[in-house]
Amino acid sequence: MERVILHSDANCFYASVEMLHRPEYRTKPMAVGGDPGARHGIVLTANYIAKRAGVKTGQALWEAKQACPDIIFVPPRMDLYLRFTQMMREMYQEYTDRIEPFGCDESWLDVTESCSLKGDGIKIANELNRRVREELGITVSVGVSFNKIFAKLGSDYKKPDAVTTMLRDEYRKKIWPLPATDLLYVGRRTGKKLLKLGITTIGGLAQTDERILEQHFGKIGLVLWTFANGLDTTPVRREDAHAVIKSIGNSLTTPRDLLNDEDVKMVLYLLSESVASRLRKHGFRARTVEVSVRDNGLFSFTRQHKISFSTCSASEIAEEAFRIFRANYTWQQPIRSIGVRGCDLVTEQYMEQLTLFTDAERREKEERAERAVDDLRRRFGYYSVQRGLMLKDGALSHVNAEEDHTVHPVGYLYDL
């Protein structure tokens, strides 16, 4: 049976979510990214009005401003975007359990086994396209093909809000005339090397002797030739319990220099509470804890350690972070900045084997207590509940780390 692979790509994802929540931006050039007040950062995504004016993803904010003087910059809200990612993922799960994320806004779906119940790939793609638009208020472009590479080319072929097929009897007509740089994993440097060989299109790449490509690019040359000829057989990975983002973390330049272990412990608990709260909010657990430290002599280091059991407990994260800190810092200088991150994330459905010495009941009670604190802080404010440890220093404890968080999305592959 011929495989049926879809690639769903949310159009201008971050900007679309922002325009959904701020309708006044729908008719104006707008971009998400950076810190316009501090005049630094880059464009993460822009709406189509800004794109037509010449704004591009990855541009510095000042470059985007030159291209489009009327552009409005909006700071990113990763928590909000991840909620939409999860909602799209839940929708995809109604059609298949073979869902492979490619960042926050893109996913491959293998619907081969679903066609007998849901209809052919084109029908499923059109249904997903319609449902995302009507149920979530944003749009996706969906490619339909017999492999992952061509399905992604299909989702890129026509935007926004479109369904494009790249089937076996039509890919030469549609795909081969496209620039070689449109092929997945052909970055700018690889594109320049291909250009030196006189290869400007995907069809030209497909028709080049693979031995020449191997000579100039090594094994990756053979991979690109395989992709261009529609011979990719890479499976869509079955959805598992791994999270769609890599880590959730906070770092803080402290109100005063930290002078001893007690100061550090207080700040680590502040940061860990923020990290743990966000993990619980999005249904994640961390399997690795990372600590970063910078002293006032500008010496810095980052260390991490894999913990025995996945956790979303502030106490467990803070205790592990403090252990990592004490094992790696000898107080040559006071500390100016410190950070905590939960890494190697899994979802709440992740299964793991406990040991005979694990007090599972105690861990569950602690988690319920921390969720109750989350609820109280949502209702009455962050400072309505604080640990007794925070009473030791008002300057250090009067920081709401959760308002200045960092969420690290899945990274894309870079130029080959």
Convert the pLDDT of each residue in 269-307 to its tens digit. Answer: 989 998 998 888 777 889 999 999 988 887 888 999 999
- Give the model's pLDDT for residue 242: 53
Lowest-confidence range among 51-55, 203-207, 374-378?
Answer: 374-378
229 pLDDT higher than 50: yes
Q: Using 50, 70 and 90 to split pLDDT, how confident is the model at 404?
A: very low
Question: Phi and psi for 121 in degrees, rounded to 5?
Answer: -60, -35
Looking at domain 14-76, its CATH architecture is 3-Layer(aba) Sandwich (3.40)
Mean pLDDT on 154-166? 95
CATH number for the segment(s) 245-409:
3.30.1490.100
Q: Using 50, 70 and 90 to split pLDDT, how confident is the model at 239?
A: low
129 pLDDT higher than 80: yes
Say which residue, 9 or 256, is predicted with more confidence: 9
- Give the model's pLDDT for residue 76: 87
Share of the chain above pLDDT 70, in %: 88
User: 30-52: per-residue pLDDT in tens?
Assistant: 999 876 554 457 898 999 999 99
Selected from 3.30.70.270, 3.40.50.300, 2.30.110.10, 3.40.640.10, the CATH number assigned to the domain covering 5-12+79-172 reads: 3.30.70.270
Q: Using 50, 70 and 90 to split pLDDT, how confident is the model at 407?
A: very low
408 pLDDT higher than 60: no
Instruction: Please check whether residue 310 is in contact with residue 285, taking contact to mean a CB–CB distance below 8 angstroms.
Output: yes
- Give the model's pLDDT for residue 329: 92
Mean pLDDT of the chain, nearest integer: 86
72 pLDDT higher than 90: yes
User: 96-128: per-residue pLDDT in tens?
Assistant: 999 998 888 999 999 999 999 999 999 999 999
Lowest-confidence range among 14-28, 150-164, 272-286, 385-399?
Answer: 385-399
Lowest-confidence range among 249-253, 270-274, 293-297, 335-339?
Answer: 249-253
Instruction: Please check whether residue 15 is in contact with residue 46, taking contact to mean a CB–CB distance below 8 angstroms.
Output: yes
The ranges assigned to domains in the chain are 5-12+79-172, 14-76, 179-228, 245-409
412 pLDDT higher than 60: no
CATH number for the segment(s) 179-228:
1.10.150.20
Active site residue 106: yes
What is the SS3 string spanning the chain?
CCCCEEEEEECCHHHHHHHHHCHHHCCCCEEECCECCCCECECCEECHHHHHCCCCCCCEHHHHHHHCCCCEEECCCHHHHHHHHHHHHHHHCCCCCCEEECCCCEEEEECHHHHHHHCCHHHHHHHHHHHHHHHHCCCEEEEEECCHHHHHHHHHHCCCCCEEEECCCCHHHHCCCCEHHHCCCCCHHHHHHHHHCCCCEHHHHHCCCHHHHHHHHCHHHHHHHHHHCCCCCCCCCCCCCECCEEEEEEEEEEEEEECCHHHHHHHHHHHHHHHHHHHHHCCEEEEEEEEEEEECCCCEEEEEEEEEEEECCHHHHHHHHHHHHHHHCCCCCCEEEEEEEEEEEEECCCCCCCCCCCCHHHHHHHHHHHHHHHHHHHHHCHHHCCCHHHHHCHHHHCCCHHHHCEEEECCCCCCC
Say which residue, 247 or 140, is predicted with more confidence: 140
8 pLDDT higher than 90: yes
- Give the model's pLDDT for residue 409: 39
Lowest-confidence range among 186-190, 235-239, 261-265?
Answer: 235-239
Out of 18, 106, 273, 290, pick the active-site residue.
106
Tell me the range of 174-178, 211-215, 221-225, 264-268 where mean pLDDT is highest: 174-178
416 pLDDT higher than 80: no
- Give the model's pLDDT for residue 52: 95
Mean pLDDT on 57-82? 90
